[in-house]
A and B are shown apart, each in its own frame.
Chain A
Amino acid sequence: MSDLARQLSSDLAPVQRGLVLRRLLFGLGGGLAASIVLVLLILGPRPDMSGAMDTAMFWMKLLYPLSLVAIALLAAERLARPAASARSRLAWLPLPFVLVALLALVVFILAQPAARETILMGQSARVCPFIVLASAVPPLAGLVWAMRGLAPTRLAETGAVIGLAAGGAGAFAYAWHCTEAGAPFLAIWYTLGIAAAALLGGLIGPRTLRW
């Protein structure tokens, strides 16, 4: 048995700080890049890209998912460590949801009654959550890979948190194609797709994240 201690300590490489976050970023980045390429190749960039870039909603649709990615990733960085708690980092999670929901509510109330259905349902409400979920699969795969090399001990919770990060990344990728410009649309249909990705992560966590 003492052989094992000797074997493991021979050719010992130093460990750098920040390894956990770097590994998670690497997995997420690989998956996100794949998702963006797939969205642009299969669905194509939105045709009105240059005009849309002057609108606040274009940036909102990128910023909202990105803020969720950031919070979930920081929480995952804690969950990847045995005996560490992610609670203080997850405490930030409601913020983006609440802000976007409030914005959506204000926009909806201020809109002309006739325009309300358009800003709520747009042209693509029926497919949006599914495409967001599908776009979340490559980043989720990347994050599962990253997490398997780390040491999460709460597998369902960890799965849900990396699912959330993947959902945010999927929504970010899809936003380069999607032409919807209603804040209520973003608040409902994007959020639904992201939540589905978190649920998926929570379901597959206990099986896929074991070590």
Chain B
Amino acid sequence: MQTAEADLKALMLAGLAGDAAAYRLLLESLQQQLAAFFRRRLAGDLSEVDDLVQEALIAIHTRRGTYDRSQLFTAWTYAIARYKLIDHFRRKGRAKSVPLEDQALFVADESSSVEARLDIERAMATLPAATQSLIRDIKLREFSNAEAAASRNMSETAAKVAVHRGIKKLMTFLGAEPEKRP
């Protein structure tokens, strides 16, 4: 993380000074990271991901003069990616903000991931204790549905339904719409 910041920033500074080769390397690296970032947030739709990557990359290029050399370069890039994502959601009228800031673009933004964790903890606290522990086992500790159900003397279907309802409630609490598959 420290080296990503230092490496990318060095490339950016060279690019700002007019070094086309360094700048191209920077854009290619950002392209991959932006693709991963948008893929995580959009859950699927690859054509949308490509469009957003392209849009964000062009924005980074045309607005590169707004990068302040005393700033973290990753924070600047992350803010642009996040802005483009929010703008995308707003255009589609799906959500007013980007929820669940648990994975920053470069996992550099410590404070926001801590905040997100606290948000999720608060949301979890609204669920029944049994559901909470089910979600922790299945979604975080990666037990299978069958394993989690067996250790609780419940059917696999009942476990699945409880987790599904719990997640739905979490999403509502966090202000996001539950994901809809097209």
Contact = CB atoms under 8 A, between A and B. Distances in A.
A6 B20 CA distance: 9
Contact of A14 (B18, B21, B69): B18
Majority SS at the chain B contact face = helix
Given A6-B24, A12-B23, A81-B66, 10 more contacts: A1-B54, A4-B58, A8-B57, A15-B65, A81-B68, A81-B76, A82-B76, A83-B72, A83-B78, A153-B83
A23 B17 CA distance: 19
A80 interface: yes
B17 A84 contact: no
B99 interface: no
Contact of B71 (A11, A12, A83, A211): A83
A2 interface: yes
Contacts of A13: 18
On chain B, which size bracket covers the interface? 35 or more
A149 B65 CA distance: 10
B20 A10 contact: yes
Interface in B46-92: 50, 53-54, 57-59, 61, 63-69, 71-72, 75-76, 78-80, 82-83, 87
Interface of A: 1-2, 4-6, 8-17, 19-20, 23, 80-84, 149-151, 153, 210-211
Contacts of B147: none
B10 to A, nearest CB: 16
Contact of B66 (A10, A16, A150): A150
B15 A210 contact: no
A1 B80 contact: no
B132 interface: no
Contact of A2 (B28, B59, B64, B82): B28
Contacts of A211: 59, 63
B16 interface: yes
Given A1-B54, A150-B63, A12 B15 contact: yes
B57 A153 contact: no
Contacts of A23: 65
A151 to B, nearest CB: 4
Contacts of A2: 28, 31
A93 B24 CA distance: 42
